[in-house]
Amino acid sequence: MSKRTEKTIVDIAEELKLSVSTVSRALNNHPNISTRTKEKVKKMANKLGYRPNAMAAGLRNNKSRTIGLVVPRISMFFPATISTVIQNKLHEHGYHVLICQSNDSLEQEIALAETLYSTRIDALAVSSTLYTTDFSHFDIFKDNHIPLVFFDRVPKDYKVKVIKGDDYLGGYKVTEHLIEKGCNDIVHISGPLTCNLYVERVAGYKDALRKHKIPFKKSRIFYQELTKENALAACEKIFSKTPYPDGIFAANDTTAITILEYCRKINVRVPEDLKIVGYSNDPRAEIITPSITSVDQFPAIMGEKVANALLDLLQQPGAMPQRYSEELVPIQLIERASSAAPVAKPKTTVKKKVK
């Protein structure tokens, strides 16, 4: 109906015959304002339907009370859970969270950094693209002393606060677990080595093999984006010639699930003929039959840590240079049916078939 409904503090001031400064201070509970005027002001603010203009305040204070969050995608279980936690936690502290997706495209990530800077976010948390090796597009934030935290997918030689899972240990434990369950020809389907996660998991994998005197074979490791399509392609290759492996360590659960379903189709029995382990403990891993052994990365804990790190840095005087530090989130192997010990069912007597 009316044209300009937007009430401002000057409207309140006029109405009350006060100065805008007094109104501003009253609304912000400044100690120098008497309780009586504070009440008057707040009542009038309510009556007029006043809502503060965050942009004006932000401009003046040079802070937006908004925090940027860049993740590959929010439709994947792990980043979604982390984002949820971060968002809820920061909200409690009066911050907005601008959740952005890079869609695993470096180009988009760079653009995101640019526009997020433009909105003058107070801090930034990022889990990078699979392909980000040069992180200089985040320099603006460092240069201007804007708190910057990386998590999960983190840079290697870039001085920032880092919060990551223990991927080396994860890779090691998975591999050792498979060995202990009797595997000695273990395929590893890894993500691209441009990403720290996979570098470390591969290292764990290799070390576990070495420790148990199993020779590492280059042909038994795949580097690829961990999509369903790529997993299928890998299956085609793996099962195109004998001997089949007796264990597969997939670097995510989508891949593990795809392999499992493939095995069903070609009548390779899991876990009797082949043991499968995934990574991330996606809800689907627990539900499929046989349920899939996976590695829990405790996304809620990671999210909590990221939020705390941000809040911490936000307290500190902006002048203090960003310090490098690495925090490790533990992992836990969740053993399930897909890698269970070879207890042959009484039904059939076929115990060892492939070898």
Partner DNA sequence: GTATTTTATGCAAACGTTTGCAGTTTTCGG
Partner DNA sequence: CCGAAAACTGCAAACGTTTGCATAAAATAC
Contact residues for DNA, defined by CB under 7 A = 6, 8-10, 17-22, 24-25, 27-28, 31-37, 50-53, 56-57, 59-62
- Determine if 334 is a binding residue for a copy of itself (CB under 8 A): no
Q: Rule CB under 8 A: which of 38-57 touch a copy of itself? A: 49, 51-56
Site for a copy of itself in 248-307 (CB under 8 A): 257, 283-284, 287-289
Q: Indicate the residue among 29 and 88 with the shorter CB distance to DNA.
A: 29
Question: Total residues contacting a copy of itself (rule CB under 8 A)?
Answer: 46
* From 21, 29, 115, 325, residue interacting with a copy of itself (rule: CB under 8 A): 115
Lookup result for tokens 């390779």: 268
CA distance 178 to 32: 68
Residue 50 binding: pick among a copy of itself, DNA, none (C-beta 5-8 Å cut-off by kind): DNA
Q: How far is the CB of 15 from DNA (least distance, A)?
A: 12
State which residue, 2 or 62, has the beta carbon closest to DNA: 62
Give dist(CA 189, CA 59) in Å, integer: 49
In the complex, the smallest distance separating the C-beta of residue 352 from a copy of itself, rounded to whole angstroms, is 26
Q: Does 143 bind a copy of itself (CB under 8 A)?
A: yes
CB of 329 to a copy of itself, least distance (A): 18
329 beta partners: 165
**Which candidate, 259, 176, 187, places its Cα nearest to that of 217?**
187
Considering the complex, state which of residue 43 and residue 73 has its C-beta at the smaller distance from a copy of itself. 73
Collect contacts of 164-167 with beta carbons under 8 A, ≥24 apart: 164/196, 164/326, 164/327, 164/328, 164/329, 165/197, 165/297, 165/298, 165/302, 165/328, 165/329, 165/330, 165/331, 166/328, 166/329, 166/330, 166/331, 167/196, 167/197, 167/198, 167/200, 167/201, 167/204, 167/331
Length of the chain: 355
Comparison of 200 and 304: residue with beta carbon closer to a copy of itself: 304
91 in helix, strand or coil?
Answer: helix
- The CB-of-36 to DNA minimum distance in angstroms stands at 7
